[in-house]
Amino acid sequence: MNYIMKDKFYTYIQQLQDTITSKLEQVDGTAKFQEDIWERPEGGGGRTRVIENGEVFEKGGVNISGVHGALPDSMQKYFDVKDADFFACGLSLVLHPKNPMVPTVHANWRYFEMYDKEGNIVDQWFGGGQDLTPYYLFDEDAIHFHSVCKKACDLHNPDFHTTYKKKCDEYFWNAHRNEARGLGGLFFDYCKATEEMQMQDWYNFVTEVGNSFLEAYVPIVNKRKELSYSNEQRKWQEIRRGRYVEFNLVHDKGTLFGLKTNGRIESILMSLPSHVQWVYDHKPEEGSEEAKLLTVLETPKNWV
């Protein structure tokens, strides 16, 4: 049964990657995803798809991977295990739109198994989530994104949305800046079998969230992509992207896991935007739209 789970989830993310990339190409109108099939010397590989310099998406990636082998020493210490083997697969995406009125989005859905030397599964879990990072705040966009997240959660457990929204706010927190990376969404990890939730139930929940992604994001893109913007607004977007980069390189577990398990560096760092600025001690004008965003990022808010 458990071996079927990893095959089942890998098949699911392959199909989801196709669905998401074809829809995003349609939304962009000009750019197409470039595909890279790669192999990991220690076992497994993946399919990286990157879109660049489009009408809508300046840079984005929708990647899947399935990797396996001996758990590296650094990860054995992290999980407090000895001589374990592992299998990990997931879909990870980040989209950086050109227009500062369109938010950046990130999502990830993953499955992990750990084995003893006889090949028996000793641990397994699902994880994932999705979150929105705007540069200019439109309340209705935040409400829409969080409403779709809540709807997916409510189909499985009435407490999931409150719990995983809170975890998301805690996780995507740039501690060194004392501010959120964005407006949050959902974040869940170590979703293991219990009396209430078997692994199949977790699979149903995670795929529900994965299937809801386009509904959560695409309507926002379509609503904002034609809005006009100034050079100053574009500069603000690039400064805020700097905070995004800081989070990914300093705090993000997925990035650190990839770097410590000899992951494919191009796939790991595809989440970084093409154009970004670090301006010394930059502070927006009081009462401006830029300042309004920062106020919301200082204290996570319940949008639904």
Which domains does the chain show, CATH number per domain? 2-298 (3.40.1500.10)
| CB neighbour list of residue 270: distance below 8 Å, 6 or more residues apart | 48, 50, 59, 61, 63, 94
Which residues carry out catalysis? 106
Identify the residue whose tokens are 């000009």: 30
β-pairing, 184-191 vs 121-133, is: antiparallel
pTM assigned to the model: 0.94
73: number of Cβ within 10 Å: 10
Cβ pair 100, 136 in contact under 8 A: yes
**Rounded to whole angstroms, how far apart are CA atoms 57 and 30?**
10
**Rounded to whole angstroms, how far apart are CA atoms 289 and 258?**
36
Q: Which two tokens stand for residue 298?
A: 């200082």
The pLDDT profile of the chain, 304 residues, written as one tens digit per residue, is 456 899 999 999 999 999 999 999 999 999 999 999 999 898 999 999 999 999 999 999 999 999 999 887 777 777 777 778 999 999 999 999 999 999 999 999 999 999 988 888 999 999 999 999 999 999 999 999 999 999 999 999 999 999 999 999 999 999 999 999 999 999 999 999 999 999 999 999 999 999 999 999 999 999 999 999 999 999 999 999 999 999 999 998 888 877 877 778 888 888 899 999 999 999 999 999 999 999 999 999 999 9
Amino acid at 135: Y
**Rounded to whole angstroms, how far apart are CA atoms 181 and 134?**
9
Torsion of CA 297, 298, 299, 304, to 10 degrees: -10
Q: What is the side-by-side strand order in the sheet with 34-39?
A: 34-39, 44-52, 57-70, 85-97, 104-115, 121-133, 184-191
